Amino acid sequence: MNFADAIAKATRVGRAAAHATKSVAKTSIGIGVATDEQIAARLAICVACPGRHATFKQDGTLHTCGPMLESLREAGRKTCGCVLNKKARDLAEDCPFGYWPTTPTESTT
């Protein structure tokens, strides 16, 4: 990796970390928090991610969307690097590929 690439990567990581911090701060005080059903619906999709973008911890639990804290949207790959169990709690967040339902608890009947 050359210097320019390293700076670009550091910038992407910094932006993703700032975004994640803002989201977690907001939901931790109860602003824009998804329901338990919405969170479960989102995470169920991530576990079986149609694009195989989810990463998992060594114990098999769901972890991040692509490389941790590395938003690759600017690099054309779209993964956000978010910790998924945090991201799923924030109603303002969405799957970067549009795999999450817009209204996860909406009936299809």
The region of 7-15, 16-24, 28-36, 48-56 touching ligand SF4 under the rule CB under 6 A is: 48-56
Interatomic CA distance for residues 86 and 20, integer angstroms? 8
**65 is an interface residue for ligand SF4 by CB under 6 A:** yes
Q: Which is nearer to ligand SF4, 26 or 78 (CB)?
A: 78
Cβ-based neighbours of 7, under 8 Å, separated by 6 or more: none
Does residue 40 bind ligand SF4 (CB under 6 A)? no
68 binds ligand SF4 (CB under 6 A): no
Q: Does 41 bind ligand SF4 (CB under 6 A)?
A: no
